[in-house]
Amino acid sequence: MQEKLTGIILAAGMGTRLGDLTKAMPKALIEVDGEPLIVYAINFLKRIGVDKIIVVGGFHFDDLKKIVNSIDSKIEIYQNKNYQQGNLYTLDTVLDKIDNNFLLMNVDHIYHKEIAAKVKDQLTNSIIAFTDHDRKLGDDDMKVLTDSNKKYVSQISKKLTDYNLGYVGMTFCSLDFLVKYKQAVEDAKIKYSDQAVVENVLQILSDNNSKNVLVGDISGYKWLEIDFPEELDQAKHEVSLSKYLYK
């Protein structure tokens, strides 16, 4: 793509489901095999080749800012003081600073290195929700139902009982769709109030036009999500066995 690409990492959450581990530490600084989650996220965006990285923190913001600045002083970091709201408000903290293509991701996902190239190859002039079809989804997973051609997102929610894909925590928006995306953010804030999350934006976009949100695919490569202690233990085990796949 010719326009510049900004990577946005949502890292404001408290990580309460990790219990005592995050009582005095932001989730972004939880370590897996000696590296905090924020490092994995930053490195992933750099593999894609972003021109700029924006991190939005919240809980224990100063601790996160110190680490981010030590990793790369060129990374922009902003604070969402209302981090107890849904993560759409974390994105909203910096949305007025976005004036080009962006790739949005959560800090609590660790992706196989090869996924970066797969994502980059699919970036086109559109809004893209990245998904996979090769894992078993549980109650806490974000589910996607596509149109009959499996090309566009029709519905996205954790509560879906009829679905054919899982969302993997990444959304791309090209410059030409930026105004439309930003308007959907405002609509989501009204419709879903304080608990609005970024996936609600995709649903509103799909409701407005059935061809607004393309399906991206990263199937074939493992990725790790860290929400619960058992998932953290699994991630530590997986990365320790296969460092070269994730670091």
Give me the pLDDT at residue 243, please: 85
The angle formed by the CA atoms of residues 196, 198 and 203, to the nearest 5 degrees, is 90
Domain coordinates of the chain in residue numbers?
5-246
pLDDT, tens digit only, all 247 positions of the chain: 557 999 999 999 989 999 988 998 999 999 999 999 999 999 999 999 999 999 999 999 999 999 999 999 999 999 999 999 999 999 999 999 999 999 999 999 999 999 999 999 999 999 999 999 999 999 999 999 999 999 999 999 999 999 999 999 999 999 999 999 999 999 999 999 999 999 999 999 999 999 999 999 999 999 999 999 999 999 999 999 998 899 8
Q: How many CA atoms lie within 13 A of 43 on its CB side?
A: 16
| Amino acid at position 133, single letter | H
Give me the pLDDT at residue 247, please: 85
Give me the pLDDT at residue 118, please: 97
- Give me the CATH code for the 5-246 domain, please: 3.90.550.10
Nearest one of 41, 32, 39, 38 to 60, comparing CA atoms: 38
0.85 exceeded by the pTM?
yes
Give me the pLDDT at residue 244, please: 87
Give me the pLDDT at residue 3, please: 77
Give me the pLDDT at residue 2, please: 54
Give me the pLDDT at residue 129, please: 98
Q: Rounded to the nearest 5°, which phi and psi values hold at 165?
A: -145, 165
